[in-house]
Structure 1
Amino acid sequence: MKITIIAGARPNFMKIAPIIAAIQDKQQQGYAIRYRLVHTGQHYDKNMSGSFFEQLGIPEPDANLESGGGSQAEQTANIMVRFEKELIEHPCDLLLVVGDVTSTLACSVVAKKLKIKVAHVEAGIRSGDITMPEEINRLVTDAITDYFFITTTYAGEHLVREGKSAAQIHFVGNTMIDTLLKQRSRFTPPPIWQEAGLQPQQYLVMTLHRPANVDEEDNLALLINEIMQNSHGLPVIFPVHPRTAKNLEKIAVKHPQLFLVEPLGYLEFNYLVEQAKAVITDSGGITEETTVMGVPCMTLRDSTERPETCTVGTNELLGIDPRALAPAMKKLFAGEWKKGGIPPLWDGKTSQRIVDKLIEIFAVKQQSVPVL
């Protein structure tokens, strides 16, 4: 069995690392399963891409399409044109895509038009907000996917309502949590830990990148000021996404306890998150990590595709009105934040379940000599 695995953007890397490791384990056991790793180049700078490969032990990609840059349409088109050539030259039995980035959609469409089966890891999640590019990517990808690997039962319910067969849907858990649990003992403090004199539970972490929060300069300034005014004087560490950096330069928001830093590697960023008093974010994936690490999380969005982080975990959805921050911060500093729990099957074994299921579906044989 030949699998092509797609990695394109930072959120993908944590999800593919344990899947590759699970495939390698099966190869050692003699199963006739091979993979080819294709990096689309959607995220192409070292902090957003390269360091993740190094830290998570992801092998060098077999191909890098170098398709980063440009508008959404340009990037999608570049990936599709280059990936079509790649797939024609290196055909496979299955395309495996993860998450909801542009690469996920673009590569799935190419594969289906070449009559190749598609498996989608983290399928079925829905925010209900069609203005989000990621929601469009999810809907289109799942419309043409053959095998759905889901993180929660919520996702399965969405897929069934959309007409998918229960036989296509496999509840396996969350591969990103596989990586988190495997790497947790290796978390390491970034330079800002010493530079700002940080102490456990005595600072906040903030990440912002969604258009509703960062594209309007006045709103971005108001949002940051609201956070700083309600932070009880604690340092706020803000790893700045490239999208956000441009507008921050224009508004020139400054505060002695606000620390703007470059995007961090996986091990450094999660060290900060694990030790933080709370995280303020508009990211979806971070809410999953805070849930497992038991860190209070405030999400500055009107909807979430990961409701389990709110119903089970430590996350609360505040909306995009900056005025919602004050009562949430009051609750945090009063010690009244919910403790939360961990959703079912977020146990570090998801990737094993995925690869076992693929071996079953494709009737992959076990040989006496390992396939390397």
Structure 2
Amino acid sequence: MLIDIIAGARPNFMKIAPIIKAIEKANKESGEAKGSEHFLEYRLIHTGQHYDRNMSGAFFEQLGIPEPHMNLESGSGTQAEQTGRIMTRYEEVLMDRKSDLCMVVGDVTSTMACSITAKKMGVKIAHVEGGIRSRDWTMPEEINRVATDSITDFFFTTSEVANKNLRNEGVSDEQIFFVGNTMIDTLLGNLERLEKPGVVDEQNLSEGSYFVMTLHRPANVDEERKLKDLVENIVEGAEDEKIIFPVHPRTRKILDGLGISHPNLIYTDPLGYLQFIWLVKYSRAVITDSGGITEETTVMGIPCLTLRDNTERPETITQGTNELIGTNPDSVKPALQKLMSGSWKSGSIPEKWDGKAAERIVGHIQALMQNGSLKPHQPFVDEELMM
């Protein structure tokens, strides 16, 4: 059984790491040899969607992910250009050797592009984190999610909300597997390995005395006046506490052009996973427009203020420590006043966010093989033995 595991952008790497480890563990425990009926062979494919070191290479090293079997080197460009390159190059991979299952994660361009290509080549698709919805069609990620889920065969979901979304869209219960959250597998598996970033000592930060901020969505960073108002309101609302802002070079260029500076606003380069999670774990709160970070703060019990009008992860609000603040700069100060007064809500950890999601995924794949829902396209042939 050959499984293609697709990774294209930073969030993907955190989600695939525990799956690869679970596959290797299952093979070891089964004692099956490569090429046998029950052996799970995987082919790790890096699409190259994010290609700088902090966005990809360093993550593979820190999370113990093996070097990809291939890199499609799709590079940058418009979404259409990037999608086209990924599809063309992944098609070539499948023409050379067709996999039995294409496993995609999350909602980036690579997820959609490889799913469409695989489906047209007759390869079944498994979507890890399937079924989440924001209902916001201005988000490219929402288009990627819905397009991918419309052709997915097996859904590995993070919540009952996602399960309900899929059922409402006509997906059968036999296709839905509620497994939990592989990103949380990675988080819990690395809490003892976190690395203190240099900015902590440089700024003399103590536990619970600073904020962490991330901003990347075009609605927040591309409108210069709005970005300036957001940052100024955040700085004022944080009072005298420092705000550590790991900022993408593109966003930093915009900020520098706007002349936004304050003694308590500390810019850093993008951080590696182990350094960033250290910073979040010991912060007072996180201010973000990211989706994935709201999951991590929920599990770590860190207050999170999300600068968005909607979320595809409602469980981080109904159960977790996250609150939607909106994108209006005027809404920031009241939220920060609530936090600073000690009135922020406490949260709980959603069901099955326990570090075992990847094990459940592999268990379901093995069951699908046993019941015939997943079948190899052709018997495995070891090319070295044929020489």
Give the TM bin, normalised by the shorter chain: over 0.9
Contact kept in structure 2, 1:217 and 1:250, CA below 8 Å: no
Partner of residue 126 from structure 1, selected from 122, 133, 141: 133
Matched, 1:40 2:55: no
Looking at structure 2, the residues matched to 252 and 154 of structure 1 have their Cα atoms a distance apart, in angstroms, of: 43
Higher mean C-alpha deviation, range 55-64 or range 182-191: 182-191
Look up the match of 2:279: 272
Per-residue displacement from partner, 1:264-294 (whole Å, max 9, x unpaired)? 0000000000000000000000000000000
Which one-letter code corresponds to 2:192 in the other structure? S
Deviation at 1:249, TM superposition (A): 2.9
Query: Which residue in 2 is equivalent to 1:254?
Result: 261
The more displaced of 247-256 and 131-140 is 247-256
Shift of 1:364: 8.7
| Aligned residue in 2 for 1:25 | 25
Report Cα offsets for 1:98-121 as digits up to 9, x if no partner: 000000000000000000000000
Q: Secondary structure at the match of 1:302?
A: coil
Counterparts of 2:162 and 2:193 in 1: how far apart (Å)?
31
The percent of aligned pairs where both chains have the same amino acid is 59
Provide the residue aligned with 1:117 in structure 2: 124
- Which residue of 1 is the match for residue 364 of structure 2? 357
Aligned to 1:370: none
Task: Give CA-to-partner distance per residue, 1:206-228, whole Å, 9 cap, x none.
Answer: 00000110010111011000000
- Partner Cα distance (2:336, 2:286) in 1: 11
Matched residue of 1:60: which SS? Answer: coil
Query: Structure 2 counterpart of 1:17, which letter?
Result: A
* Counterpart residue identity of residue 37, structure 1: L
SS of equivalent to 2:5 = strand
Distance 2:268 2:222 in 1: 19
Task: Tell me the residue number matched to 2:312.
Answer: 305
| Cα distance between partner residues in 1 of 2:357 and 2:340 | 35
Structure 2: distance between partners of 1:180 and 1:193: 20
Aligned counterparts, 1:151-190, within 5 A: 151-190=158-197
- TM, length-normalised to structure 2: 0.93
Name the residue aligned to 2:13: 13
**Deviant stretches of 4+, over 3 Å:** none
Paired residue for 1:211? 218
Amino acid at match of 1:3: I
What does 1:186-201 correspond to in 2, within 5 Å?
186-201=193-208
Counterpart of 1:50 in structure 2 is 57
Separation of aligned partners in 1, 2:351 and 2:296? 14
Shift of 1:342: 0.1
Q: How far did 1:32 drift?
A: 1.0
d(CA) in 1 for partners of 2:335, 2:256: 28
Change (3 A) 1:243 1:120: farther
Distance 1:72 1:53, change over 3 A: same
- SS in structure 2 of the partner of residue 144 of structure 1: coil
User: Where does structure 1 lack aligned partners over 5 or more consecutive residues?
Assistant: 366-372
* Distance of 1:318 and 1:343 partners within structure 2: 21
The answer for the alignment partner of 1:99 in structure 2 is 106
Q: Distance in 2 between matches of 1:361 and 1:37?
A: 21
Once residues 138 and 246 of structure 1 are traced to their aligned partners in structure 2, the CA distance between those partners, rounded to angstroms, is: 30
Give the letter for the 2:303 counterpart.
P
Q: Does 1:335 align with 2:374?
A: no
In structure 1, C-alpha distance between the alignment counterparts of 2:67 and 2:150, rounded to whole Å: 31
C-alpha distance in structure 2 between counterparts of 1:38 and 1:250, whole Å: 38
Q: Does residue 89 of structure 1 match 2:108? A: no
Offset at 1:246? 3.3
